[in-house]
Structure 1
Amino acid sequence: VQRGEKILWNGGFSVNSDRRLCAMNLGLFILVALVNLCTGSEKVAHLLVLKSMDKFETVVTKNMTVTINVFNVGKNTAFKVEVDDSLWPSAGVQMVEGQKTASIASIEPGFNQSVTYTFAPSLPGELSLGAAKVTYDLQASGEESKAVFSNILPVLPVLTASEYDKRHTRHIKEWFTFFVLTLIPVGLPACMYVMAQNKLQALMAASSGAAKGGKKK
């Protein structure tokens, strides 16, 4: 479990400085605004869970890293935070580093905690990672608890090495073909122009030489 840096934005909301989350900032701010409107002046904890992975396509036996960021966008501390990302079927998956579950003692308002684990798929096909579940207590005494879920990631294609090479080699060939076809209408007229200029200069040089020869006679 890692504690993210606190970076203050307008309104006092903090996000992790990881660049991978930059594209999500606008959505997070909208959600924060909605939460603040709903809660009003009530001082309670509200957790926002964002799940991400380092790539959206992988190869069998290659490592994939999943990061779960838990933001406290409320006005009070969240206690006994339990992160559980074991809801998706893990058949054909080998854990490499970290765990899909974690316990966090507390998250203060305006701060976030992150949970990261790495796995490697052992079979080709598709993986549906589902949503992570987070439960927490609103009070230190544990009298009242709440559960929230993260976003659902898109289905992850797991390719064999040969499938991956074919897919990406095909793209390279397509770009090369496009480049060649683009050069033909642009390069052919340019070549013809240069050839015409060379012929014109040769004719002018020959004509000039003939004129000089006539004067000498």
Structure 2
Amino acid sequence: MRILIGVIIVGFIMLAGVLSYQGYQQALTGGDDPLTTSYQFEKPRPIIDFVLTNQDDAPFTAKHLLGQWSLIFVGYTSCPDICPTTMAKLSSMYEQLNAIAPVQIIFLSVDPARDSIRKLQDYRNFFHPKIVAVTGEHAKLYPLTQSLGMVYAMTGTGADYQVDHSASLVLINPQGERVAVFKTMANTQGQGDMSSAQIIHDFRLLTKS
């Protein structure tokens, strides 16, 4: 009996925590419609200054984040699964997102040894010609990804090494500050996923709050 009561109490505590979190996120977005796949920070978080190179072999700096919203995705062109899936999803909703608020989608390659400027350009063009693809030396990438709340690491040896990396999307406001992160949630197959509908729904709330 005591065990049953304990389980019930724990259940109520967990439910209260979920409801409290939803209420907190609703308060931040200013309405009763909760965020579905993202987390909004209580206050915007600054990111470090940086200088990278885009798919046109031109400098891409923190100044390019100003004046519009930005969605940043960390990956690499040789990625076999999550990168092409996410890029296809982002490219398919590019116009819908921009109809809500001006936003640039940025593919941040963390594999500079293999992702040449030409490869970045081809990869970007394959998905959407308006997506921005950038990269740089690891000495620049490591501190930037850390500032974005993302991580990556090389695994394996030889030419076929893999890159473990965050699968989230980081939302940057027009002031160049990190305001939210879109996180994958387990789908029916137990794999991390976030639907286009969820991203569009949360993007609308986050850009209006």
TM-score by length of 1: 0.23
Which of these two proteins has the greater Rg computed from alpha carbons?
Answer: 1
TM-score by length of 2: 0.24
Structure with bigger RCO (C-alpha 8 Å, 6+ apart): 2
> Per residue, is there more helix in 1 or in 2?
2
